[in-house]
Structure 1
Amino acid sequence: MSIQKRPDRKWRARVRDASGKEIARHFDRKSDAERWEASAKAAITRGDWIDPARARVTVGAWASEWMAAQVQLKPSTRARYELALRRQILPTWEGIPLSAVSYAEVAAWVQRLTASGLAPATVRYAHRVLSLALAHAVRDGRMSRNPAEGVRLPRVVREEPVFLDHDQVARLAEACGRYGLLVRFLAYTGLRWGEASALRVSRLDLLRRRVTVAVAFAEVGGELVEGTPKNHQRRSVPIPRFLVDELAAHVAGKRRDSLVFTAPNGGPLRNTNFRSRVFAPAAASVGLAGLTPHDLRHTAASLAVAAGANVKAVQRMLGHASASMTLDVYAGLFGDDLDAVANRLDEAVAARDADYLRTGTAGGEVLDLGKRRSPGR
């Protein structure tokens, strides 16, 4: 029998999981043992039985094991995950067993983080890291479901991108002195800072007016680490003709493996140093205080759309994973496209109406298919 009374007067219930392993629980009352047995057998039949022993591991121990398994992460992403774990996740969850993590507790944790004054984006990122770790536990058979799924998160209010026009780009470039070419390059190619700072001469094809984006720098723990671009996507970006001669002069005499843009000492450019020492003072001097180097990427998108680029072209240029991502950020830039569609629809209907007035039919003479002759007759 699967339920037996022990000498200590407790009732022992036993079941075997899908692997044949026996699981036993002890109860004071026979009815409790029977209920547990029925529930356990039903869960085993459904395939969502969780061995209590496997769910006793703490979130802290499991997070360490999960992070060790994430071999696909870029160094910069790994560093951000570890920061979220250290600052927002483990202070609450480190000693809590996986079996004790509930939807309500995760929701309460998110509420506490939000109430503490953390930015919505930071709260959402911490929740995402915890959810990824718990999803890994589900796949490993330690939890039947992910209790972080479906938790309501604070809304992130996206700031409106800053777009410069051609004159503003020119004035900013002039104010940046020896780095004017870098400013124009960023504003007309849309490369991310890490992509531009890691760009080597061999990646410039000035005859075809193309730059190949294959690597990027990321700052991790104060050190620059070279890795793949965001989304791990290699791409080819067009270079406007007016930049070609200036770039050719700039890289003349450099080795193919040399960096195109460097710090004054010849080493790699760091965003924080460049922004504080060169970019921010230059931007303020031309009435653009608060501008960041990343705003030049937004500018590149704006200038490309104004020159007639469609959403797919902008997506490829910027290296976005999908066109929907491009539209999420730059939907407002394509308003003229919608106007053009409406105008073409107006023209089509006007042409149809004019044709109807001229012929008395919509679209010209109506062909009577019933009178159409078969071939060969």
Structure 2
Amino acid sequence: MGSIRARANTGKLFIDFRFQGIRCREQTLLTDTPFNRQKLQALLDRIELNIADGTFVYEEVFPNSAKAKSFKQGDVIYPEFGDFAQEWWLENAFRWKKSGKVNMRSILDKHILPRFSDMPISDITKGEVLKFRSALSKLPGRGNQSISNKRINNILQPLKSIMDEASDRYKLESPFKNFKRLPLKKHHIEPFTMPEVIDIIQTADPNYRNYLVVRFFSGMRTGELHGLRWKNVSFQDNYIHVCEAFTYGEMTTPKTNEIRDIQMNSAVAQAMREQEKYSRPYSEYVFCNRKGEPLDNSNFTKRIWYPLLKELGLTRRRPYQTRHTAATLWLAAGENPEWVARQLGHSNTQMLFQTYSRFIPNATRNDGSAFEKLLSNSNQSKLTYGDNNE
């Protein structure tokens, strides 16, 4: 929808509207008065009506406009990528969770828009995309490593979505037609051994021991654990119902296949019983700070996790490796891969075999029982428990 606006430097009014996907601004000599605004608004209303019914001829309304030459009747005027990307964002952003929007916005602002914003969508060819991908490959990645193929593919995905939509609307061939994604390396996992897990739990601040026990032995994702409420814990039936997650400061719902019931082993059940004494009286969340709010992952990682690994002389790795640790300990103990997949929230065992194949023994045992034996052999009494106040 167009608008009537005034230049800050001159105070003169101009008309701001969109035609054929292009933003158009036509200057007038009229000063900013209510009468002049009313006059231009009537003109704008007529313009938008003619645009809607297909009868608008730019050079008839603005014969002296330099832009009028661009809008010859019958020609297709392609919008600049930046304008179309903004339109695409407004049309689609409401469908995404906050975490997805934050990530998408970051990719657009940091990588895609600086490269393509001023280019007409018709000029963005497969060759341009390949040049962009080549430039991305020279960027640094995490730590001292180069950027990963997975990260490059993730950066290109919003560009593909935008250009596929633009190509459909303007009858262009998508630059991503027959475009091959970069091959991905196998998941790099660095799980902890059982002795390392016990050392971490014993050395940790007592306020975080219950949290770490559940984190290491439940296989829950960070957001799932931080968003866990007492109403979703059943001591009677011995399970945790995973149906919520806390990410980017808000509660969200996991994907359908990630909603599941996790069987609590004895270590998790005991830690949850201990934690109940400390947090349940004043918070609906199982693991919370002193205000009763969900734990902040960044705060935990920087203030508790990394210093703890450094103190123990263990390789620095992200807290997410606790989930990999649970999976590898289960599989190494001989648990049924299908049971492990259900615990982790995988829809099938395909990802399990791809990620943890070297940890899967040939023989399997009864669901859950093999890990209980591993806990017993590791002297479960060493897993001391405490409260969890940040």
2:319 maps to 1:297: no
- Equivalent of 2:106 in 83, 91, 94: 83
1:325-359, Cα deviation, whole Å (9 max, x unpaired): 2333222222x22x89xxxxxxxxxxxxxxxxxxx
Partner residue in 2 for 1:248: 273
Is this contact kept in 1: 2:246–2:294, CA < 8 A? no
Q: Deviations over 1:124-152 (max 9, x none)?
A: 2111110111222344x324432124445
Q: Work out which of the residue numbers 146, 156, 163 in structure 1 matches 2:191.
A: 163
1:133 alignment counterpart: 162
Rounded Cα–Cα distance in structure 2 between residues aligned with 1:193 and 1:258: 17
Gaps of 5+ in 2: 1-53, 56-73, 142-146, 365-390
Tell me by how many angstroms 1:103 deviates.
0.8
Q: Would you say the 8 A contact 1:280–1:289 is kept in 2?
A: no
Identify the match of residue 100 of structure 1 among 123, 128, 135.
123
CA contact (8 A) 1:201 1:255 kept: no
User: Which deviates further from its counterpart, 310-319 or 124-133?
Assistant: 310-319
Aligned to 1:271: 297
- Match for residue 227 of structure 2? 198
Matched length:
284
Separation of aligned partners in 2, 1:217 and 1:153: 31
Identical pairs, percent: 22
Whether the 8 Å CA contact 1:186–1:296 is kept in 2: the answer is yes
Answer yes or no: is 1:123 the counterpart of 2:145. no
Aligned to 2:260: 235
Residue type of the alignment partner of 2:86: S
Asked whether the equivalents of residues 315 and 326 of structure 1 are also in contact (C-alpha less than 8 Å), the reply is yes
Partners of 1:248 and 1:294 lie apart in 2 by: 24
Runs of 4+ in 1 over 6 A off after TM superposition: none
Cα deviation per residue 1:259-316 (whole Å; 9 max; x = unaligned)?
1011245432111111121112222222323032111000010112123333332222
- TM-superposition CA deviations, 1:238-270 (whole Å, max 9, x none): 110233233123213725961101124543211
Partner of 1:56: 78
Contact 2:187 2:355 in 1 (8 A): no
Structure 1 residues 84, 170: CA separation in 2 closer, same or farther (over 3 Å shift)? same
| Cα distance in structure 2, aligned partners of 1:236 and 1:137 | 42
SS of 1:211's equivalent? strand
Checking the alignment, whether the CA contact within 8 Å between 1:284 and 1:290 is kept in structure 2 is: yes
1:331 and 2:357 correspond: yes
Residue equivalent to 2:332: 306
Distance across 2 between alignment mates of 1:145 and 1:321:
35
Higher relative contact order (CA 8 A, sep 6+): 2
* Paired letter, 1:175: T
Q: Which residue does 2:132 correspond to in 1?
A: 109
Could you tell me which amino acid in structure 1 is paired with residue 81 of structure 2?
V
Residues 305 and 333 in structure 1, CA contact (< 8 A), matched pair in contact too: yes
Letter paired with 1:227: T
Runs of 5+ unmatched residues, structure 1: 1-20, 23-50, 341-377
Q: Verify the 8 A CA contact 2:222 2:320 in the aligned structure 1.
A: yes
Name the structure 1 match of 2:286.
260
CA contact (8 A) 2:153 2:182 kept: yes
* In 2: Cα distance, 1:108 partner to 1:274 partner: 40
Contact 2:283 2:292 in 1 (8 A): no
Aligned residue type for 1:285: E
CA distance in 2, matches of 1:231, 1:103: 35
Change (3 A) 1:316 1:142: farther
User: Distance between the aligned counterparts of 1:218 and 1:270, measured in 2?
Assistant: 9
Shift in Å at residue 52 of structure 1?
Answer: 6.0
Corresponding residue number in structure 1 for 2:87:
65
Query: Quick one: which amino acid aligns to residue 217 of structure 2?
Result: Y
Q: For the Cα contact (< 8 Å) 2:214–2:272, is it kept in 1? A: no
The DSSP-based 3-state class of the residue aligned with 1:145 is coil
Q: Is the 8 A contact 1:161 1:298 kept in 2?
A: yes
* TM-score, normalisation: structure 2: 0.66
| 1:183 to partner: Cα distance | 1.0
TM norm structure 1: 0.68
